[in-house]
Amino acid sequence: MVSLLAAVGCVQAQNGQLLENMFPENMDIRVSLELNPDGSFYLTAAADGTISGEIAQLPIASAQGHVEISSPSSGQIKITLDGTVTLSDDVLAEFPEETRTMLSTASADTINSYIELMQIEGKPIQDILSGLVGAQGLSYGEGGNEVPPEMENIIIDNINCTKFSWEEPTLEMGFDATLSGGIFENDELRASLPVAIDMSLKSEEGSLDLSVDVIGQNAEFHMTFSLAAAENGLNLSASIEAQGKIPSFEGGEPYSFQLPPEVQEALGQQSLIEWLEEQNISFELKVPESAEVAGLPGNPSHSGGTYSWTGSGAAEAVGAVLSGQSTPQVNFSSTGTLAGGQSGTGTPGVGGEGLVWVLVGVGVAVTVAVVGIIVAVKHLR
C-alpha cells in the first residue's frame, strides 16, 4: 500500500509535469493482516486523503486489459495479452491523418511482419531494451544504459500479434509471447501459475479510476485506485484486498515476516520512514488466540489474538518491519520453535511471506505500466 501511494507521483498534472507532491501527508491508512494455522492469509489495506495538484483529461479515456501468465515448461513463461484502448477527444482532434491511415490499414499480419523485420525473436531481452533505449536517446541504470540485472539472460523465444483493429476512437489488440531464462526455473514461481490479471482504467477531466484484479493458483488480489478533483486539491482513495494460501507454508512451523534483503534496503530508506511518520496509520495483526507471537515491533495493544498499532507507534512498527529491523514470528503449533527456542522442538520457517508483497507489487507494476502508456501516447500528439 505504501508503494501504491507513492505511485501517485506518476500521475500527470495539467501543466504537463508530474505532481510535485510525490508523498502526500496526513493520509488515513488502515492495514489488517489475518494469518491462520492452515497457511491461509487475508490482507486488506485502504488509504484516503487529499493531495495537491490538478488532473486534466488524460490521452486515454478508457482502457481494459486481460493478461494470462503460465509456464509451459521449466525455464519458460508464456504471456497472453488482450486489451482495448480508447483515446480521448483531445488526442483525436490533433491526430495526424497519416496516423489514422496507418492504424486503419494495419492488421495482425502487418504487425507480425514488422516483428519479423525487427528480428527480436531468439534474442536476449537486454539487447532489445538497450537498442530501444539507445534509439530514443534515453538512459537508465547507474551506468546510463544498463539493463536491470533481473532482465539479463531472458530470451524472447517468440512473439505474435493475435489481433489488431482500429475503429476510432478505440484500438483493440492482442499478443502472446514466450520467454525463457533461468529465472523462470523457480519451482515456487511455477507452482503459483497460471495467473490471470484484469485491468480497467477510466479517465475524465478531473478524475482517474483504476482497478486491477489478479487471480492465481494460491491467491487472489484486488486493487482499486481513484483520484478526483476537489476544492482543495485531489481526493485520493485506494484499497487492496489479497487472500489465499502461502505456498511454502508447512504446518507446525512458525511463520516469519521477513522480506528479501534487497526489498528491505529499498524500503528502509529514511525518506520513506519520515513519510510514514506523517501519516495517520493503523495496523492490525490477527492470529488465533492460541498462537504464540514473538518479535513484534513497538508496543501494540492486545486483545485475544488481535494486535493493534495506531498513530506514531504504527508508523514506527511498519517502518521497522519494512526495513528488516524487526522480524515478527507466529507459531501456530506447540511443535514449532520461535527464534531463541522459546517453545517446541522444530525450527523457524520463513513460510512464503513474499507472496503478499509480490501481489501488491503486481498492482503497483500495472499502475506504473498504465502511466507509461499514457505518457507514450502523449508524446504522439
Kindly tell me if the per-residue pLDDT of 145 is higher than 50. no
Task: Please choose, from the candidates 288, 311, 346, 366, the residue with its C-alpha nearest in 3D space to the C-alpha of residue 40.
Answer: 288
pLDDT-based confidence at residue 39 (cuts at 50, 70, 90): confident
- For residues 196 and 280, the model is more confident at 196
> Other C-beta atoms within 10 Å of 356: how many?
20
Task: Please choose, from the candidates 180, 125, 185, the residue with its C-alpha nearest in 3D space to the C-alpha of residue 149.
Answer: 125
d(C-alpha 44, C-alpha 47), whole Å:
11
The cell numbers describing 320, all together, are 521497522
pLDDT at site 249: 66
Least confident of 41-50, 125-134, 333-342: 333-342
Kindly tell me if the per-residue pLDDT of 140 is higher than 60. no
- For residues 188 and 272, the model is more confident at 188
**Strand duo 255-256 + 280-286: pairing:** unpaired
Least confident of 19-33, 120-134, 151-165, 209-223: 19-33
pLDDT-based confidence at residue 212 (cuts at 50, 70, 90): very high
Residues contacting residue 359 through CB under 8 Å, at least 6 positions apart: 214, 219, 221, 242
pLDDT at site 268: 56
Kindly tell me if the per-residue pLDDT of 378 is higher than 80. no
Mean pLDDT of the chain: 74
Phi, psi of 269 (to 5 degrees): -65, 145
For 297-319, the pLDDT digits (tens) are 888 998 989 999 988 888 888 77
pTM of the model: 0.75
Least confident of 62-76, 136-150, 316-330: 136-150
Cβ 219 vs Cβ 355: under 8 Å: yes
Place of cell 495517520: 280
Kindly tell me if the per-residue pLDDT of 353 is higher than 60. no
Kindly tell me if the per-residue pLDDT of 168 is higher than 50. yes
Per-residue pLDDT averaged across 245-251, rounded? Answer: 66
Kindly tell me if the per-residue pLDDT of 173 is higher than 90. yes
Per-residue pLDDT averaged across 355-375, rounded? Answer: 41
pLDDT at site 340: 46
pLDDT at site 264: 61
By percentage, how much of the chain surpasses pLDDT 90?
Answer: 20
pLDDT at site 367: 40
